Amino acid sequence: MSAPKVTAVAESSPAERAGLDVGDELLSLNGRRPRDVIEYHALVDDEVLDLRVRRPGPGGRPDRELELRVAKAAGEPLGIAVESAVFDRVRTCDNHCAFCFIHQLPKGMRRSLYLKDDDYRLSFLYGNFTTLTRFTELDAERVLEERLGPLFVSVHATDPEVRAQMLRNPKGATSLRWLRVLLDGGIEVHGQVVVCPGVNDGAVLQDTLVTVLDRYPKLATLGVVPLGLSRYSHEPEMREHTVAEARAVCDTVAEWQDTYLGVLGRRLAYAADEYYLLAGLDFPPAESYDGFPQHENGIGMARAFERAFRGGDGGDAGEDGDAGEDADGSGGAPGGVRAGFFAWVEGAPAAGYRAPRHAAQPGPARDLDRRPTAVLTGAYGARVLAPLVAGLAGVRVLPVVNDFFGGNIAVAGLLTGHDLIQVLETAPEGHRYLLADACLSEGRFLDGKTLADLPRAVEVVPSDGRSLREALAGRL
C-alpha cells in the first residue's frame, strides 16, 4: 500500500509550521496509515498529529524518515493537498460490459483514461457508478459504520440473468443484494439504468421498474440513460436508439413516475435529457425533476440551465448539494459530462468530485465586450442553447461535432481539442468564443490538448446557466 504524497503546503498552515514539504510521503498519522482520503480526513481532524514522514533525499541521496508533530485546533485544516484519493490499490472492475465506454476509447490516449474501477470509495468521493460485484461484507460494515453516502449504483436490470449477461459476470446476478443491505442500513443510494436497445429496454425495463418498487423502494432516485456508443465499439449487438425506442423509454418512465408518486410520494425515476432530444419531445417542466437529484447524470440539465439562464429561482442545480453532484463542477451545462466520467483519474482533487475542474478566466469586462460572440458546445447542447440566445444580437451557438469519438457521442463534456480545432480553424478572427469548463480537467481536454493548442482565443465559462448569462450580460 502506498502512502499519501504531499503535493502542496498552504502558507502559514499547521503543516508548514511543522515542517512538512511538497514531496513528503505520510507513512503514518498517529500510528495509522490511511487507506484512502476518507480515512485520511478523519485522522487529520485530531488536535495533535504525530507524523512519520518519508522525505526524498536531495541530489539523489537516500530518502530520510522523519518524525514530525503537528499541533492545531480540532477540525482545523492541516493545510496540505495529497495527490490521490486512494492510497491502497484501486478496486478495478471485473465486469466486461458490452456498453462500457472505456472499451470504446481510441488507442493512444492517456493511460489513466483506460482504468476501469468498481470501487465504492470512488462512488462516494466522485459519483462513480459501481455495480457492487466487488463489494464485500467488510465494505458494507465500513459504509454503514462511517455513513459513506450518497453512493451511486449501476442497476441496469433487476432480472438476475439479464444483469449477469449485461455485465458478463455471473456475480452480476447476485450483487444487488448489497443494494438492499445499503438501503436497509439507511444509506442514500442513487441508481442508474443504461438502456441498451434490444437488451434491457421494453419488457426488461418494465420489470426493472416493478422490482425497484417491490424490493428497493428506499432507492433515492433511478436515472434512465441511453447507451453511449463511440465509433470504436467492437460490440455488434450494441446500437443507437431509434426515435420510436427513445419515445417508448420516455413514455415508460413517465408512466412509472405516476405510479411511484402515488405509492411513494415521489417520482423516483427520471429519463435523461438525451432521450427527449432523441425522441423530439419537449423536456418535462423543471418542477418535475424534484430538485434535479440526478442533474449531473444528464437528467434535468437542460431545464436547470434554462431556468438559471433566464434568472429563475433556484439558480444552478449544482448548488443544491444534492446527490446528483457533478464530477466536474459543471453545475448545469446542457449535455455535460456524466458523474464520475473520467473524473477521479483526470485531475480531480483528492478531496472529491465537488471541487471545480477548471477555474474560469476573468476575461474583459463582460458588460463592455460587444464583439460578435459564439458559444461552443456539443450537438445536444446546441439544441438547448440555440433558443435561449436566439434573441441576443451578435450571439450565436457554434455546434462542435464530436469527430474524435464519433458514434452518438454529442455531449459537451466529451468535446476534445481535436474537435474544437477543426471548428475554430475556419472561425472568424477577432470574435469572442465561449467554452464550458466541463470540457477541461486541469486545463486539458480528454485528448491531452490544451487551450493553447486552439487556433483562436477561447474564454472558459463555468458550465451553468447563470454564468453564461453573466458572460453575455452586455447582450441581455
Cα(133)–Cα(328) distance, integer angstroms: 26
Residue 322's pLDDT is: 35
Report residue 21 as a C-alpha cell: 514539504
Element holding 4 (H helix, E strand)? none
| Cβ count within 10 A of residue 420 | 27
Cα(461)–Cα(362) distance, integer angstroms: 9
Cα(419)–Cα(433) distance, integer angstroms: 15
* C-alpha dist (Å) from residue 91 to 34, 96, 122, 155, 176: 16, 15, 9, 19, 18
Tens digit of pLDDT for each residue in 245-295? 999 999 999 999 999 999 999 999 999 999 999 999 999 999 999 999 998
∠ CA(336), CA(338), CA(344), 5° rounding? 115
In this prediction, what percent of the chain has a pLDDT beyond 70? Answer: 87
Report the amino acid identity of residue 257: Q
Is 60 exceeded by the pLDDT of residue 174?
A: yes
Average pLDDT of the residues in 19-30:
94
The DSSP symbol for 127 reads: -
Cα(241)–Cα(249) distance, integer angstroms: 10
Closest by CA position to 132, among listed 146, 148, 151:
151
Residue 339's pLDDT is: 40
Residue 257's pLDDT is: 98
Report the amino acid identity of residue 111: R
Cα(440)–Cα(387) distance, integer angstroms: 25
| Cβ count within 10 A of residue 290 | 17
Residue 356's pLDDT is: 45
For the chain, the straight-line distance linking the first and the last C-alpha, in angstroms and rounded, comes to 55
**Entry field: residues in the chain:** 476
Mean pLDDT lowest among 123-127, 298-302, 345-349: 345-349
Cα(224)–Cα(380) distance, integer angstroms: 17
Cα(406)–Cα(414) distance, integer angstroms: 11
Average pLDDT of the residues in 228-234:
94
Cα(194)–Cα(335) distance, integer angstroms: 16
Residue 312's pLDDT is: 67
Report residue 17 as a C-alpha cell: 509550521
Mean pLDDT lowest among 74-88, 178-192, 214-228: 74-88
Cα(145)–Cα(141) distance, integer angstroms: 6
∠ CA(457), CA(459), CA(464), 5° rounding? 155
| Cβ count within 10 A of residue 224 | 27
∠ CA(460), CA(466), CA(470), 5° rounding? 65
Is 60 exceeded by the pLDDT of residue 93?
A: yes
Q: How many H-runs (helices) and E-runs (strands) does the chain carry?
A: 13, 13
Cα(45)–Cα(246) distance, integer angstroms: 49
Q: Residue 194: which residues within 8 A CB-CB, separation 6 or more?
A: 99, 154, 156, 225, 226, 227
Is 50 exceeded by the pLDDT of residue 200?
A: yes
Tens digit of pLDDT for each residue in 311-357? 864 444 443 333 333 333 333 333 333 444 445 455 455 545 444 44
| Cβ count within 10 A of residue 37 | 20
